[in-house]
């Protein structure tokens, strides 16, 4: 008898233990009145600050609604989490997620609430609209700002060496030669964090599309390839040339983003091809360099067609699982995000990295030089394009490793481009796109 | 752990069970709970992997594509690299563990001071989190600031980029693997050497055998079972290795230190479930095709004195 | 022992101590020292004495990071380790008992399956597929079941070798006293396995606690983090805050260290058990 009791107790204990996993510490203090909206954002410093800022302002203006920010990991782990929670109907009431191809992969028509009928829909910037539209329906409000994939450069170093912003690749390489002679690392690379290796390829897309306007379309349809389109291959070649000429920083193979940012701010490195958004990280550590760091697009062959490749803001979306009064509250919250007050709330919470996607939102006067530089390209007609990942659902997962290989001299550019085409093929086949099987 | 014991005397020895009784005190249903867990979470997935490796798969629906995944696996240079690296990694780590483990065991069974301390120190890394060890050594191996290269610099040697130079990355990780795992090999050897009857050593001494002769003619042949164990265990571990590589290089720079297990993870991350599963099947075949015949071969040879 | 032999033993011993200290202790000392430094000094990554001790502030900062993530992870890892090892040990002992005692046509197959469990690498995505089908993917019970399934083989082999040394007469006496199979096993055999159970518990606890791969695949999501995945994630977040990263690493090293200090002999016995019977 004793044995049975012991066994039962053991089983019960095991079940009790295994049934619960410690989800989070700290209490959730629901006061019972009004609606509580959960809002999930990724845990990057900038995004979580902006989300907190938005929630604070919104809560102050809407007494009946409380928005609570929840964070999730970034990168593929975060992607998996979002997809799993959406498909199990267990998503937060509102969530932030990439726009473009990643958003298309969420099966928006099935999993998200469309927002075309909302009054603010007409006030969105066209580029952003494209990147959160699926099957002619609009699904998100812009969270954050435009970003550019470009070359950040140290203006003081440029001044000291009497350099001019290059508009062609040859001018860029000539600048590099002078910088190297002056003892400055011309191009900073940070393969310690592999994603940072991709900008010479991804940020070159404006030049690709300028040379061949239908590239995105043909690429999605399996009719254009990186390896066989000279303009597209150029990105890989640039990576190779920079390494072959010895223009990278000495620790390019192990440097992390932080190291690269430090080198750029201190002027031991001159150029850093990266997403403009990292300027907020740079200014976090080196606030005095606000006007020292500037930006120019990755130069191509033709000075006349040179322009900027931009990344659309992320979106704030409502999942289909949000219903009833929560849905009404969520719509209100999205309207707030897509209003000038929402832009202001985000701008107050953190350093602004680029222009907003909502009409009527103005940038503060004291924006960093990088943003001013970006704005000139965005304002000039035809001088900016969305990055390929917003125009095509096809993006291979191994690009960062391939770029590291090409950029470290392990693999030649044509070979790298060919390998990437293979990688892309796997992705397209997995998505079941027409023309790829 | 006891693979070898089992393959060695694997034939069921118990012949003494009483002839058919009405109710055995050893009911078959005792197997049931373990069989359910093992069957559902290990056997079914293993069998299912053979089917899913032939499909393009999204977890919800699978689309049969024949051997395409395997063709891909052996065409794409990055994946082939992973295959070759797996073999290199397995052989290097297990070879190093055999040699170093044996030497350390001989040292730690001889009469030296602080033997207990030394055994503990060599063994402790075995218990420490692989991720923790990997991250620590990533810092120690940093080409510019790391302790290893800084120390080398003081004696005028310019250390390589351990983890960033494509020709060293895999071997550097293997080195850390040996650092972490040699304690277990040493321990197995110590147990093997200690179990050699003392009379043999005394007889050898009477014959006037020196330390080298002892090693060559006594320890080496008689510690053979231990050698077999170390080889098989570290091969199984080395071929399947993932966490250390992932913590230190993530297969980089580029694809130069990828092994099959890290390729499986990357394909999984990218959502290529069919391809990832094909990688699993390849790994399965590699491990069994190497370990099974090898353990048969090593176990068949009798110890010769 | 002659004088020269003793001198030689001292010489080799001292040399061994020196080498072992450099090779094996320096990395751990490096972890400890860096964990006690302030941010600026830790960033230099050198092997030096902390100019000022920041051990406690670093500890508090790491524990508070990401909403007390590390504490949650410790709770999760404890639940995982305790439950999976407990279940694994009981189930494996039942299998080992019958397998050793009763010769039947199943034995060959079961032996084969047990060995397969040690050699075959688990098929990852199909396992996720099965777990998902059972509604257990990404849940703690699912991961516990996974650890049980993957750890059974080792325990069965360990227990079987030990049960072979328990005389059959004990079983027969118990059966004559009227004990059924359950009572025979749980009241007679299981208590006799005490020493080998301790070995299995210690070895498997260390294995499960240090497991990184299975939580990575089968328990994704930051609310479910275990200690190992948390450390891994922190390594990105604390990329340049080495004092915090190494405080973290120190904290994952502590539980195995405690295990080691208490169960040194047990662990050694377990790790070599059965391997060297030739």
Q: How far is A410 from chain B (nearest CA, A)?
A: 8
Per-residue pLDDT reduced to its tens digit, C62-95: 888 777 888 989 999 999 999 999 999 999 999 9
Q: Write out chain C residues lying below 8 Å of A8, CB-based.
A: none
Q: How far is C93 from chain B (nearest CA, A)?
A: 9
Q: Which of A24, A80, A258 sits opposite C72 (nearest CB)?
A: A24
| pLDDT of C268 higher than 90 | no
Say how far apart CA A163 and CA A292 lie, in whole Å: 14
Establish if C79 touches chain A: CB-CB under 8 angstroms: yes
Residue A314: name the closest of A79, A85, A84 by CA: A79
Q: How far is C60 from chain B (nearest CA, A)?
A: 19
| pLDDT of A13 higher than 70 | no
Q: Write out chain A residues lying below 8 Å of C71, CB-based.
A: 25
Give mean pLDDT, residues B222-245: 91
What distance separates the 2 farthest-apart alpha carbons in chain B? 80
| pLDDT of B265 higher than 50 | yes
Q: How far is A240 from chain C (nearest CA, A)?
A: 27
Q: What is the predicted pLDDT for the residue at C225?
A: 82
Establish if B155 touches chain C: CB-CB under 8 angstroms: no
**Test mutation, A254, A256, A397, A432, chain B, max B CBs within 10 A:** A254
Q: How far is C276 from chain A (nearest CA, A)?
A: 35
Q: Taking CA atoms, what residue in A is nearest to B62? A: A430
Which letter does DSSP use for residue B55 in this model?
Answer: E
Q: Do C271 and B187 touch (CB under 8 A)?
A: yes
The answer to whether A236 touches A201, Cβ cutoff 8 Å, is yes
Q: How far is B19 from chain C (nearest CA, A)?
A: 10
A3-A5-A7-A10 Cα dihedral, nearest 10 degrees: -140
Structure tokens at C24: 């094996």
Q: Write out chain B residues lying below 8 Å of C148, CB-based.
A: 37
Say how far apart CA A385 and CA A378 lie, in whole Å: 9
Q: What is the predicted pLDDT for the residue at B270?
A: 83
Angle ∠(B263,B161,C246) on CA atoms, nearest 5: 80
Q: What is the predicted pLDDT for the residue at C2?
A: 60
* ipTM for the whole complex: 0.87
Angle ∠(A370,A375,A379) on CA atoms, nearest 5: 160
Say how far apart CA C230 and CA A307 lie, in whole Å: 42
The residue with tokens 């610099």 is: B153
Per-residue pLDDT reduced to its tens digit, A98-120: 998 888 888 888 899 999 999 99
| Average per-residue pLDDT for chain C | 86
| Residue B66 included in any domain | no
Say how far apart CA B135 and CA B161 lie, in whole Å: 16
Establish if C222 touches chain A: CB-CB under 8 angstroms: yes
Angle ∠(C73,B244,B280) on CA atoms, nearest 5: 95
Structure tokens at B248: 């230190």
Residue A39: name the closest of A111, A87, A79, A93 by CA: A93
Say how far apart CA A371 and CA A387 lie, in whole Å: 18
Say how far apart CA A349 and CA B230 lie, in whole Å: 58
Say how far apart CA A113 and CA A97 lie, in whole Å: 14
Region of B26 (left: φ > 0; alpha: ψ -120 to 50; beta: rest) is beta
Q: Write out chain B residues lying below 8 Å of C114, CB-based.
A: 6
Q: How far is A255 from chain C (nearest CA, A)?
A: 11
Q: What is the predicted pLDDT for the residue at C3?
A: 62
Share of chain B above pLDDT 70, in %: 91
**CATH 3.40.190.10 location in chain A:** 35-145+313-362, 147-311+372-431
The CB density around residue A133, as the number of other CB atoms within 10 Å, is 18
Q: Write out chain C residues lying below 8 Å of A17, CB-based.
A: 79, 82-83
Chains near A, with 3+ CB pairs < 8 A? B, C
Q: Do C275 and B132 touch (CB under 8 A)?
A: no
Q: How far is C267 from chain B (nearest CA, A)?
A: 9
Domain ranges in chain C?
Answer: 62-272
The second-level CATH assignment, the architecture, of C62-272 is: Orthogonal Bundle (1.10)
Per-residue pLDDT reduced to its tens digit, B99-130: 999 999 999 888 888 888 888 889 889 889 99
Polymer length of chain B: 305
The secondary structure of B150-214 as a DSSP string is: HHHHHTT-----TTTSTTTHHHHHHHHHHHHHHHHHHHHHHHHHHTS-HHHHHHHHHTT--HHHH
| Residue B126 included in any domain | yes
The answer to whether C145 touches C136, Cβ cutoff 8 Å, is yes
Q: What is the predicted pLDDT for the residue at A272?
A: 96
Task: Give how many domains chain B has, as a whole number.
Answer: 1
Specify the range with the lowest mean pLDDT, choosing from A76-85, B163-172, B279-288, C193-202: A76-85
Give mean pLDDT, residues A123-149: 90
| Residue B112 included in any domain | yes
Q: Which of C23, C98, C161 sits opposite B30 (nearest CB)?
A: C98
Q: How far is B219 from chain A (nearest CA, A)?
A: 45
Say how far apart CA C142 and CA A328 lie, in whole Å: 37
Which letter does DSSP use for residue B218 in this model?
Answer: I
Q: Which domain holds residue B172?
A: 81-300
C52-C58-C60-C65 Cα dihedral, nearest 10 degrees: 160
Q: Do B272 and A251 touch (CB under 8 A)?
A: no
Does the model's pTM come out above 0.90? no
Region of C221 (left: φ > 0; alpha: ψ -120 to 50; beta: rest) is left
- Residues 6 or more apart in contact with residue C11 via CB below 8 angstroms: none
Q: What is the predicted pLDDT for the residue at B305?
A: 39
Say how far apart CA A244 and CA A176 lie, in whole Å: 13
The answer to whether A33 touches C102, Cβ cutoff 8 Å, is no
Residue C126 bridge partners (DSSP): none
The secondary structure of B253-278 as a DSSP string is: STTTT--HHHHHHHHHHTT-HHHHHH
Q: What is the predicted pLDDT for the residue at A159?
A: 94
Say how far apart CA C54 and CA C39 lie, in whole Å: 9
Which letter does DSSP use for residue A274 in this model?
Answer: E
| Residue B29 included in any domain | no
| pLDDT of A68 higher than 80 | yes
Residue C207: name the closest of C110, C84, C117, C119 by CA: C84
Q: Do C68 and A3 touch (CB under 8 A)?
A: no
Q: How far is A73 from chain C (nearest CA, A)?
A: 7
Q: What are phi and psi of A339, to 5 degrees?
A: -120, 160
| pLDDT of A254 higher than 80 | yes
**Test mutation, A405, A420, A422, A425, chain B, max B CBs within 10 A:** A405
Residue B94: name the closest of B299, B290, B300, B297 by CA: B290
Q: Do B78 and A398 touch (CB under 8 A)?
A: yes
Say how far apart CA A232 and CA A418 lie, in whole Å: 11
Q: What is the predicted pLDDT for the residue at B271?
A: 81
Q: Which of B56, B164, B250 sits opposite A254 (nearest CB)?
A: B164
Residue A401: name the closest of A419, A376, A389 by CA: A419
Per-residue pLDDT reduced to its tens digit, A146-193: 999 999 999 999 999 999 999 999 999 999 999 999 999 999 999 988
SS3 category, A308: strand
Q: What is the predicted pLDDT for the residue at B201?
A: 85
- Residues 6 or more apart in contact with residue B192 via CB below 8 angstroms: B105, B222, B223, B225, B226, B227, C276
Chains near C, with 3+ CB pairs < 8 A? A, B
Q: What is the predicted pLDDT for the residue at A1?
A: 38
| Residue B91 included in any domain | yes
Which B residues 103-122 touch C at CB under 8 Å?
107, 110-115, 117-118, 120-122
Q: Which of A80, A251, A430 sits opposite B143 (nearest CB)?
A: A251
Q: Do B254 and A404 touch (CB under 8 A)?
A: yes
Higher pLDDT, C106 or C147: C147
Q: Write out chain A residues lying below 8 Å of C240, CB-based.
A: 256, 258-259
Give mean pLDDT, residues A368-375: 90
The answer to whether A268 touches A185, Cβ cutoff 8 Å, is yes
Under CATH, what is the fold of the domain A35-145+313-362?
D-Maltodextrin-Binding Protein; domain 2 (3.40.190)
Residue A384 bridge partners (DSSP): A308
Establish if B150 touches chain A: CB-CB under 8 angstroms: no
- A433-437, B37-41, B76-80, C266-270, range with greatest mean pLDDT: B37-41
Q: How far is B227 from chain C (nearest CA, A)?
A: 10
Say how far apart CA A312 and CA A289 lie, in whole Å: 26
A42 to A70, A76, C231: CA distances (angstroms): 8, 11, 19
Q: Do C20 and B122 touch (CB under 8 A)?
A: yes
Q: Which of B25, B34, B142 sits opposite C175 (nearest CB)?
A: B25
Q: Write out chain B residues lying below 8 Å of A397, CB-based.
A: 266, 269-270
Say how far apart CA A425 and CA B56 lie, in whole Å: 13
Chains near B, with 3+ CB pairs < 8 A? A, C
CATH number for region A147-311+372-431 = 3.40.190.10
Residue A152: name the closest of A246, A242, A282 by CA: A282
A194 to A199, A252, A348, B167: CA distances (angstroms): 11, 11, 31, 18
The residue with tokens 């199984």 is: B236
| Residue B23 included in any domain | no
**In which element (H, E) is residue A426 found?**
helix A413-431
Q: Do A254 and B266 touch (CB under 8 A)?
A: no
Q: What is the predicted pLDDT for the residue at A187?
A: 96
Per-residue pLDDT reduced to its tens digit, A391-427: 888 888 899 999 999 999 999 999 999 999 999 998 8
Say how far apart CA C254 and CA B124 lie, in whole Å: 12
Q: Do C13 and B135 touch (CB under 8 A)?
A: no
Q: Taking CA atoms, what residue in B is nearest to A415? A: B77
Structure tokens at C28: 């751990």
Structure tokens at C75: 């709770």
Q: Write out chain A residues lying below 8 Å of C182, CB-based.
A: 3
Exposed, middle or buried, A87 (CB in 10 Å: 0-12/13-18/19+)?
middle
The secondary structure of A147-196 as a DSSP string is: EEEEEEEEHHHHHHTT----SBHHHHHHHHHHHHHTT-EEE---TTSGGG
- Residues 6 or more apart in contact with residue C174 via CB below 8 angstroms: B25, C183, C184, C187, C188
Say how far apart CA B39 and CA B32 lie, in whole Å: 10
Q: Do A405 and B143 touch (CB under 8 A)?
A: no
Q: Do A21 and C138 touch (CB under 8 A)?
A: no
Specify the range with the lowest mean pLDDT, choosing from A79-83, B69-73, C219-223: C219-223
Say how far apart CA B121 and CA B126 lie, in whole Å: 10
Measured distance between the N- and C-terminal CA atoms of chain C, rounded to whole angstroms = 32
Say how far apart CA B217 and CA B304 lie, in whole Å: 10
Per-residue pLDDT reduced to its tens digit, B12-56: 444 445 544 457 888 989 999 999 999 999 999 999 999 999 998
Residue A132: name the closest of A151, A112, A160, A161 by CA: A112
Question: What's the count of helices (H) and strands (E) in chain C, helices before strands?
Answer: 14, 0
Residue A300 bridge partners (DSSP): A168
Share of chain A above pLDDT 70, in %: 92
CATH of the domain at B197: 1.10.3720.10
Which letter does DSSP use for residue A275 in this model?
Answer: E
């Amino acid at each position: 008898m004793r044995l049975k009791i012991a066994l039962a107790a053991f089983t019960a204990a095991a079940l009790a233990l295994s049934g619960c996993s410690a989800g989070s510490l700290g209490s959730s203090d629901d006061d019972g009145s009004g609606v509580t909206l959960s809002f999930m954002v990724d845990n990057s410093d900038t995004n979580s600050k902006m989300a907190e800022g938005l929630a604070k302002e919104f809560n102050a203006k809407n007494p009946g609604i409380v928005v609570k920010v929840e964070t999730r990991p970034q990168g593929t782990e975060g992607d998996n989490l979002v997809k799993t929670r959406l498909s199990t109907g267990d998503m937060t009431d509102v969530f932030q997620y990439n726009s473009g191809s990643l958003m298309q992969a969420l099966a928006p028509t099935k999993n998200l609430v469309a927002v075309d009928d909302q009054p603010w829909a007409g006030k969105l910037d066209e580029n952003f609209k494209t990147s959160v539209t699926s099957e002619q329906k609009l699904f998100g409000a812009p969270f954050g700002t435009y970003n550019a994939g470009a070359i950040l450069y140290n203006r003081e170093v440029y001044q000291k060496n009497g350099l001019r912003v290059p508009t062609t690749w040859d001018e860029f390489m000539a600048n590099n030669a002078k910088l190297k002679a002056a003892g400055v690392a011309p191009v900073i690379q940070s393969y310690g964090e592999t994603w940072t290796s991709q900008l010479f390829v991804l940020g070159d897309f404006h030049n690709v599309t300028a040379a061949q306007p239908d590239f995105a379309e043909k690429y999605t349809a399996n009719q254009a390839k990186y390896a066989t389109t000279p303009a597209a291959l150029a990105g890989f070649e640039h990576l190779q040339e920079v390494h072959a000429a010895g223009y990278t920083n000495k620790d390019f193979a192990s440097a992390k983003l932080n190291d690269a940012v430090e080198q750029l701010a201190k002027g031991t490195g001159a150029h850093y091809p990266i997403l403009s958004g990292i300027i907020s990280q740079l200014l976090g550590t080196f606030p005095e360099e606000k006007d020292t760091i500037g930006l120019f697009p990755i130069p191509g062959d033709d000075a006349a067609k040179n322009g900027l490749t931009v990344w659309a803001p992320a979106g704030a979306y409502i999942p289909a699982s949000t219903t009833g009064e929560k849905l009404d509250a969520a719509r209100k919250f999205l309207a707030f995000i897509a209003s000038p007050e929402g832009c202001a709330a985000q701008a107050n919470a953190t350093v602004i990295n680029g222009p907003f996607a909502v009409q009527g939102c103005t940038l503060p006067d004291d924006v960093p030089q990088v943003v001013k530089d970006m704005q000139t390209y965005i304002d000039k007609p035809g001088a900016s394009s969305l990055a390929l990942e917003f125009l095509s659902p096809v993006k291979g997962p191994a690009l960062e490793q391939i770029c590291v290989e090409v950029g470290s001299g392990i693999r030649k550019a044509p070979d790298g481009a060919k390998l990437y085409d293979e990688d892309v093929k796997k992705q397209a086949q997995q998505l079941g796109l027409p023309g790829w099987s | 752990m006891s693979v070898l014991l089992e393959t060695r005397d694997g034939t069921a020895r118990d012949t003494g069970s009483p002839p058919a009784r009405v109710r055995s005190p050893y009911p078959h249903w005792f197997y049931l709970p373990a069989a359910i867990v093992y069957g559902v979470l290990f056997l079914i997935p293993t069998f299912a992997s053979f089917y899913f490796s032939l499909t393009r798969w999204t977890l919800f629906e699978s689309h049969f594509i024949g051997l395409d995944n395997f063709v891909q696996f052996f065409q794409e240079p990055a994946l082939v690299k992973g295959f070759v690296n797996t073999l290199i990694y397995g052989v290097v780590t297990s070879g190093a563990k055999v040699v170093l483990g044996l030497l350390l065991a001989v040292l730690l069974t001889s009469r030296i001071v602080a033997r207990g301390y030394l055994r503990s120190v060599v063994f402790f890394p075995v218990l420490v989190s692989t991720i923790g060890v990997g991250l620590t050594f990533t810092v120690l191996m940093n080409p510019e600031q790391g302790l290893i290269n800084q120390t080398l610099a003081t004696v005028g040697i310019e250390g390589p980029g351990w983890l960033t130079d494509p020709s060293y990355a895999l071997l550097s990780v293997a080195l850390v693997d040996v650092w972490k795992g040699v304690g277990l090999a040493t321990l197995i050897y110590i147990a093997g050497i200690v179990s050699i009857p003392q009379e043999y050593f005394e007889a050898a001494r009477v014959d006037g055998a020196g330390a080298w002769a002892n090693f060559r003619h006594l320890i080496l042949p008689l510690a053979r079972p231990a050698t077999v164990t170390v080889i098989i265990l570290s091969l199984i571990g080395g071929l399947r290795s993932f966490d250390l590589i992932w913590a230190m290089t993530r297969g980089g720079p580029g694809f130069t230190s990828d092994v099959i297990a890290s390729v499986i993870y990357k394909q999984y991350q990218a959502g290529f479930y069919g391809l990832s599963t094909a990688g699993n099947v390849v790994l399965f075949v590699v491990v069994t095709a190497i370990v099974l015949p090898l353990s048969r071969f090593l176990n068949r040879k009798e110890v010769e004195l | 022992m002659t004088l020269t032999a003793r001198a030689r033993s001292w010489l080799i011993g001292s040399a061994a101590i020196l080498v072992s200290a450099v090779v094996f202790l320096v990395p751990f000392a490096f972890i400890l020292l860096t964990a006690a430094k302030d941010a600026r000094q830790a960033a230099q990554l050198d092997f030096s004495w902390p100019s000022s001790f920041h051990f406690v502030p670093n500890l508090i900062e790491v524990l508070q990071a990401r909403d007390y993530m590390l504490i949650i992870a410790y709770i999760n890892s404890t639940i995982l380790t305790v439950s999976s090892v407990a279940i694994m040990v009981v189930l494996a002992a039942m299998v080992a008992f019958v397998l050793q005692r009763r010769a039947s046509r199943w034995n060959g197959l079961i032996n084969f399956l047990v060995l397969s469990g040690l050699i075959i690498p688990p098929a990852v995505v199909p396992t996720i597929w099965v777990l998902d089908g059972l509604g257990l993917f990404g849940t703690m019970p699912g991961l516990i079941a996974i650890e049980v399934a993957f750890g059974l083989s080792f325990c069965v082999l360990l227990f079987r070798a030990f049960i072979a040394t328990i005389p059959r007469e004990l079983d027969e006496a118990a059966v004559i006293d009227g004990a059924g199979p359950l009572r025979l096993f749980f009241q007679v055999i299981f208590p006799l396995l005490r020493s080998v159970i301790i070995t299995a518990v210690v070895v498997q606890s260390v294995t499960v606690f240090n497991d990184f791969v299975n939580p990575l695949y089968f328990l994704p999501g930051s609310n479910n983090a275990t200690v190992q995945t948390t450390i891994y994630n922190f390594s990105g977040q604390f990329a340049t805050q080495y004092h915090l990263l190494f405080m973290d690493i120190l904290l994952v090293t502590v539980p195995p260290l405690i295990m080691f200090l208490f169960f040194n002999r047990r662990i050694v016995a377990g790790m070599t058990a059965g391997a060297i019977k030739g």
